[in-house]
Amino acid sequence: MAIDRRFLLASYGKPESSPINRSAFMETTQTSVVITGASSGFGECAAALFARTGHRVWGTMRDTQGRNAAKKTALEALSSDITILEMDVTDDVSVASAFE
């Protein structure tokens, strides 16, 4: 399944160039969002979009090293309100330790 490039631009691009109505995502108080699978696809796009629209984002990846290290760095560079954690949702110990 291919990701629409316009959505990637809206997530990573300049806010003023976005075709997405950002006010629909904004609230008067900062909300927290947990996104599993932030290393690719819709999870990566959602993490970027929520971070750029003022939400506190906790994104997770099974592996934050190797090929995902650059994605982790790029996502965290978008906002000081995004944190990428290493977590495997199929492993109870991994889930428990990710949010300690």
CATH code, domain with 70: 3.40.50
pLDDT recorded at residue 79: 86
For residue 98, tell me if it sits in a domain: no
For residue 76, tell me if it sits in a domain: yes
For residue 54, tell me if it sits in a domain: yes
Confidence grade of residue 95 (pLDDT, cut at 50, 70, 90):
confident
Higher-pLDDT residue of 39 and 24 is 39
- Tell me the backbone φ, ψ of residue 53, rounded to 5 degrees: -110, 20
| Count of structural domains within the chain | 1
| Residue 44 belongs to domain spanning | 5-15+30-89
For residue 77, tell me if it sits in a domain: yes
For residue 63, tell me if it sits in a domain: yes
Query: Which 8-state DSSP code applies to residue 68?
Result: G
Residue 14 has pLDDT above 60, yes or no: no
pLDDT tens readout for residues 28-72:
467 888 999 898 889 988 998 888 888 899 999 998 998 889 989
Name every residue whose Cβ is closer than 8 Å to that of residue 45 and which is 6 or more positions away in sequence. Answer: 3, 7, 8, 11
Residue 1 has pLDDT above 50, yes or no: no
